Structure 1
Amino acid sequence: MIFVYDDSGNKIDYGQYGLTCYSFIPESLSPRFSSEEIENVDGSILLGTTINARKLYVEFLFNAKDHIDYQLLRDEIFKFFNPKKDLYIIDTRLPGKRWKARNSTTFKPEYLTPTVGGFGLEFIAFGVYAESIGSSLDPKTFDVEKWQIGQGLTDDNNKYIHSTNSFSIFNAGEIAINPRKRPVVITFKGASTNLQIKNKTTGDTWTYTGSSNPSDVIKLDGIRSTKNGLSIFRDTNHKLITLATGNNDFQLTGTSGSFEISFDFRFYYV
């Protein structure tokens, strides 16, 4: 029913603990409204809406060889679901998406037989949304086993490396991407003077008042801006490039000669 990976991306064989997952159910979005009431006015004024951390419900059975093995497996299971550790959970029915979550409940495996136990867990996905297993730079083919139907990808919108000054970047997810909250790496390789990267769709503009040679690499990694690994933040306008859902139309200025720009990010889903 689910695959489980550790925070380093290594698949964990939870079957070694005698575990079998028979139910995985994510809850819907849980809104948190901010409002203001006005005297002598019916209702209230909505000021904004944010989303609470997401709960994921998982049910397990586990099988032991005998009574002593039951106790040993139980203790291993306690360690496996340590609430201090992040786990990535993938619903095997939707293998192109994963949830980063932590166990948030105490649990007590109940005897169903002398050697079979059962228990339920409540995970919390603090980032709320499921993310694509593949990134924008991964091949968009099903044989790489990172994608699935229902991820918003089309044959016409899957190019994330460009060498022209005008191009489009497609965010196939359902959530806009802000580098302050979700990883985005924009890499420019080539010569430039006063490089400017503008997302005309969102209005975001990033500028660098310096220059680069044909072999230099300028990278916008989250909130960091570097050239050949060294910070150039003080020579920028201190802005960030966000990505709206769907097409994002870009315009570059300040380039000189041939260059390459790439966008590396994941897609996020409700």
Structure 2
Amino acid sequence: MPFTLHDPNMNKIDYPVGIKPLDFLVSSIEKERKSQSIDGIPGNVDYGFDYKDREVTLTFWLRHYHGEYDNRLMKSDLYNLLDSQPYFYISDDRLPSRVLKVTIDEQYMPERVMHSPFSELEVKGNVSGRPFWRTKYTTQDLQTHSYSGLVEKFGTTDGINIDRTKYTFTETTFKVWNGGNVTVDPRNMMLYIKMFYVKGTGSITNKTTGEKLNIINDWKGNHLTIEGVKIIKATNVNGLRDTNRKFISLVPGNNEIEIKGLEFTKISFDFPYYYK
């Protein structure tokens, strides 16, 4: 089976009888270059680029078995299937540990093959949110279950470092491994950092990137939870005002983390790996 649909909770969705997925075609990511022409300067000034969208196409092969009414019922089941979720996570069965978040918004119509019981269908999808592939699992899955190359959930080509599958720490200096090829940016990607029973004031620094989160007021034994750009105390109180309002990202490979001035029992990092 060339590709598999999953619901928002990563549960596999079965195809109705007679509907066979053929291929899942994904383009490279479009870039939008930021530049400006300035008088007196040859050429232009390049300010870099933003990643935009990528094209996604799903192809199906359909076959009905019991006359024209069965063909109409099969198409009805197909239309319902592709409209059954607000979005789908789709995995290529040849690389099953990674998924892309896709919505189906455009019209589509199966094309009958010469009055036979067979039809072909091509469906255009739209990538929802970030244009990157991500792993089905997160780093806390690796922490909890440990890595095994024999387990389909953990891909053998996902950049997992078998010497760095630990993502919960009690030390004040340690390294967090990002096995993807995309920087995990908490402003627009999943990155959960939880620090337990925090006391005092101090800082959490990613020495690899130079980013630093300062805790400027005593947390008084509460848990510190960072969910993207939200900073929460254990009582669900917004804790952003008790910090310098900065965040740390995780670049591909090793990220050297240093904690100063804070007492805590443990700190955990939970995120998927992202790929271009």
Same fold, judged at TM 0.5 (above): yes
3-12 vs 159-168, greater mean Cα deviation: 3-12
1:143 positional shift: 4.3
What SS does the corresponding residue of 1:230 show, helix, strand or coil?
coil
CA contact (8 A) 1:174 1:245 kept: yes
Shift of 1:9: 2.2
Q: Does 1:220 align with 2:221?
A: no
Quote the residue 2:8 is aligned against. 7
Q: Residue in 1 aligned with 2:137?
A: 134
TM-aligned CA distance change 1:87 to 1:227, over 3 Å = same
Deviates more, 1:164-173 or 1:107-116: 107-116
1:117 equivalent in alignment to 2:119: yes
Q: Which residue of 2 aligns with 1:233?
A: 240
1:85 aligns with 86
The aligned counterpart of 1:44 is 44
Q: Is 1:187 the counterpart of 2:198 in the alignment?
A: no
What does 1:190-201 align with in structure 2 at a 5 Å threshold?
190-201=197-208
Report matched runs for 1:98-177 at 5 Å: 98-112=99-113, 113-126=115-128, 127-139=130-142, 140-177=147-184
User: How far apart in 1 are the matches of 2:50 and 2:204?
Assistant: 30
Residues 137-172 of structure 1: per-residue CA shift (max 9 Å, x gap): 113223443221221112222211111100011111
Residue pair 1:195, 1:211 contacting (<8 A) in 2 also = no
Question: Structure 1 residues 159 and 84 mapped into 2: Cα distance closer, same or farther (>3 Å)?
Answer: closer
- Aligned-pair CA distance for 1:38: 4.2
Is 1:131–1:267's contact at 8 Å kept on the other side of the alignment?
yes
The CA deviation at 1:88 is 0.6
Select the residue among 209, 218, 222 that pairs with 1:210.
218
Comparing 174-183 with 40-49, which one deviates more in the overlay?
Answer: 40-49
- What amino acid maps onto 1:130 in structure 2? W
- Using the alignment, how far apart are the partners of 2:131 and 2:163 within structure 1? 29
SS of match in other structure, 2:155: coil
**Structure 1 length as normaliser, TM-score?**
0.91
**Per the alignment, in what secondary structure is the counterpart of residue 74 of structure 1?**
helix
The one-character-per-residue Cα deviations of 1:113-141 (angstroms, maximum 9, x if unpaired) are 44221111121213211001110111322
Indicate the percent of aligned positions where both proteins have the same amino acid. 25
- Please name the residue that 2:266 is paired with: 260
Alignment check: 8 A CA contact 2:195 2:225 kept: yes
Separation in 1 of the partners of 2:117 and 2:137?
Answer: 39
Question: After superposition, what is the alpha-carbon deviation per residue over 1:197-229, rounded to whole angstroms, capped at 9, x for unaligned?
Answer: 11111111112212332xx42111111111213
Partner of 1:71: 72
Q: Residue in 1 aligned with 2:24?
A: 24
Aligned alpha-carbon RMSD (Å): 2.0
Q: CA deviation at 1:181?
A: 0.3
Instruction: Point out the structure with the larger strand share.
Output: 1
Distance 2:102 2:230 in 1: 26
Give the length in aligned residue pairs: 266
Contact 2:149-2:156 within 8 A present in 1 as well:
no
Distance 2:218 2:150 in 1: 43
Asked if the contact 1:35/1:47 (under 8 Å) is kept, the reply is: yes
Cα distance in 1, alignment partners of residues 190 and 154 from structure 2: 19
